[in-house]
Amino acid sequence: MQSMNHARLFGHICVSGNRRHVMTKSIIVVCFTLALAPIPLFAAEPFQLPVSARVLETAADGKGWAAGGVIAVSFEQAQRQFAIKIASAGWHHIHTIDLGRDRVLEAWDRGGDELTLMLWRISPGRSGFSYGVSHKAGGKGEQ
């Protein structure tokens, strides 16, 4: 009888005859909630920006570029750093258009969504960037 009261006190119930304990519904709900807590429901950005990148402009209305800014590295380093960050977020490179004079336009795909990235040289140790995402049909918005 004492073990039965002890089990109830800690949220368990005893199953008669086999000394197994079964978790109550409240404990299961708490465990399930804690397990899901670190999973973000919505990603704020389509990829993590390189460390030295600073966003200077955003478009909350979903029209035009989603964000643009500067990165304190050379044009070549900016291309490499953005490629690593975008690929690590699950995007697949489609193609690059060289616009000349250290300016490129890149297209990336992930699950039918397309990420467009533009990079350009501002000075030898500083580059500019803009990006936007075009969602597949029925998605949230357009670039």
59 and 124 within one domain = yes
Residue 44 within a domain: no
Whether the predicted model's global pTM rises above the 0.85 cut: no
Residue 124: burial class (beta carbons within 10 Å; 0-12, 13-18, 19+):
exposed
CA torsion through residues 110, 114, 115, 118, sign: positive
Spatial neighbors of 72 by CB under 8 A, at least 6 apart, are 52, 54, 125, 126
67 and 112 within one domain = yes
DSSP-derived secondary structure for 16-63? TTT--EEE-HHHHHHHHHHHHTTS-SS-SSSSPPPTTEEEEEE-TTSS
70 and 12 within one domain = no
Return the SS3 of 68: strand
Residue 126 within a domain: yes
Residue 43 within a domain: no
76 and 18 within one domain = no
124 and 65 within one domain = yes
Residue 99 within a domain: yes
Please provide residue 73's backbone torsions phi and psi, each rounded to the nearest 5 degrees: -145, 170
Q: Which pLDDT tens digit goes with each residue over 71-94?
A: 999 999 999 999 999 999 999 999
121 and 82 within one domain = yes
Residue 79 within a domain: yes
CB 11 within 8 A of CB 27: yes
Residue 117 within a domain: yes
Amino acid identity for residue 71 in this structure = I
**pLDDT reading at 123 higher than 60:** yes
58 and 25 within one domain = no
Residue 63 within a domain: yes
**pLDDT reading at 64 higher than 90:** no
Range of 119's domain?
53-134
20 and 86 within one domain = no
Domain count, the chain: 2
Q: Which pLDDT tens digit goes with each residue over 18-51?
A: 444 443 443 443 333 334 333 333 345 899 999 9
32 and 59 within one domain = no
The single-letter DSSP state of residue 64 is: S
